Chains A and B, each alone.
Chain A
């Protein structure tokens, strides 16, 4: 009897919390389905009395949405390639080697965790111009990568630390060098740790707006967040289209999560985050 009550309480808590968690997304979906004339009804109505897909169609065809989606995917994938390569190299160095400046550099790196990217906008802009990466996707990729290195390194180091060092010695005995250890032992074993690293970083890169707006001039290189901002006008905004466009934009991230979520908890559990 007592455990039944307990179960009911637990489920009630979960159901209420779960509903609150998805309510805004459902709300957005419902709004995106409403025709223009019904957006600001009072009293507000949750279920649209008339449904239309015109907002989704408008969002998709009114500008080069497919191109911006492609750009976002390209920039995100390239950033992740670099983030993983760089962070795992760095985490490997911190986990397996002793060298001069190790402690200091690690502290500095972790200091990077607390810097809001917004504060660096202007000096990074000046730098990227000097390096000739202005108005190029590379300008986005290098900055996104650099910004994600501290947290990703921190996560991966925790994981690498948990891999037994006996393996290192057996590699050494077989005549393998550090690169062999890194590329054929540590990285393959750390596969689970890359899942949470992907999910935790994905949104930051995917929805970044101020930097992309600042350095991209050519519409052909724009990413999705800039395209979404253009739906808002100076005096009036077509909210139905904004929400429809936003839904299309977060769909890939949600799909990515659903695809990876099986390995997600396992990846963290395996030691990626142990304070």
Chain B
């Protein structure tokens, strides 16, 4: 008995020692690899690339199975280590890592993060560092390229772009006596009422959240805005009459049961659209991929987002590639250039990532993707969210304000006024 236990404790101790050895061994191994990579040229360099393609998705499979092997074959001496981190966690990890210097060499950044990381001085100004920047940049779409520009310089290159279009259930609309997708906001709200009259248990429109991503297209299309054109104040924009009008209309649609999707427990919007819970929704190209893989029987229809007095203005989404690397900038730049090259963009374009490379967009393989057409049309008028570093916080205020307007009886104007003073506070705090 005694013997057995002392043996056991010995075993545990031995195990711990082994662990120490392998733990620290691996750690130093990595460090030395990266150090030597930075100094000696011609040797093996390993780039770390953080991205948020979800595991087991076609995008992740293409990245690790096709693109990276191809890049490594074309660039002997450079290896790329791709690390998947969920979207929200990636943002957090970059923020925390930014204070300690634990950053990747290259990262795929949501376009709304660029100003924030630029302000903290973490991103390299690509047009200053690399002489061939302009040659590369002029081959890319202008709108997405502008998302990487902060002030005078470019702190990234666009990787993929997207926006949302109106999805509509032809059958449900026809049953409600409507033969086409609504072209204007008036038609849209009238259709909502008609659909409700026919489908008591469904909703005319589903909106999965109340953040800027969801609410801005409505405000912009109606001629309103969140911030002034120079992004210094929300006063006179978020609480302008144009904004108040459209928010009031949306609220009325919500309270009369024509619009839902953002409350906890609501039917998820994309699944619900395929299942007949929501006759319409505004979503991005990923919804198409989801319908094709999960709802094979469902035939979806797409149309432009309903026009308001200012036009049909959707929100611009997408990702940029940013370089954080301090010691492997040349290699990182090679990888970034590779990822925006025609060949790489076509590969990703085939599986639903809308390319930003002009040549890629002209290629037959991309033109063959039939469902891109409405998105490309919508992209022509799509607008980016304000490039201010406090946007994530402003977005929180927007979402809280909209929830409070929709779900309580509070006055729309008063709530928007309150949001304006909060947002102006945030803008002042960070400048």
Contact = CB atoms under 8 A, between A and B. Distances in A.
Interface stretch (B12-20, B152-160, B385-393): B12-20
Given A188-B1, A227-B55, A230-B55, A236 B286 contact: yes
9 nearest interchain CB pairs?
A233-B54, A62-B56, A234-B87, A230-B55, A184-B2, A81-B12, A40-B271, A235-B286, A36-B294
B19 A78 contact: yes
B93 interface: yes
B295 interface: yes
Contacts of A238: 54, 56-57
A96 to B, nearest CB: 17
A39 interface: yes
B282 to A, nearest CB: 12
Contact of B23 (A125, A137, A237): A137
Interface string B322-336: 000000000000000
A62 B275 contact: no
Interface stretch (B24-32, B300-308, B338-346): B24-32
Given A74-B19, A187-B5, A39 B30 contact: no
Nearest to A191: B5
B5 A214 contact: no
Interface string B44-88: 000010001011110000000000000000000000010111110
A218 interface: yes
Interface of B: 1-2, 4-6, 9, 12, 15-16, 19-20, 23-24, 26-27, 30, 48, 52, 54-57, 81, 83-87, 89, 93, 96-97, 100, 102, 104, 268, 270-271, 274-275, 283-284, 286-287, 289-290, 293-296
A37 B271 CA distance: 11
Given A40-B274, A135-B30, A232-B86, 4 more contacts: A78-B16, A183-B5, A188-B5, A233-B87
Nearest to B104: A217
Contact of B16 (A40, A82, A232): A82
B54 A136 contact: no
A29 interface: no
A84 B55 CA distance: 36
Interface of chain A, helix or strand or loop or mixed? helix
Contacts of B19: 74, 78, 137-138, 141
B6 A183 contact: yes
B296 to A, nearest CB: 6
Nearest to A240: B294
Contacts of A214: 93, 96
A132 to B, nearest CB: 8
A217 B55 CA distance: 16
Given A39-B294, A129-B100, A213-B89, A135 B55 contact: no
Contact of B20 (A39, A122, A138): A138
Interface string A56-87: 00110011000000000010011001101100
Contacts of A233: 54, 57, 86-87, 286
Given A213-B89, A214-B96, A230-B54, A236 B6 contact: no
A125 B102 CA distance: 12
Contacts of A188: 1-2, 4-5
B380 to A, nearest CB: 22
Contact of A218 (B6, B12, B30, B296): B30
A187 to B, nearest CB: 5
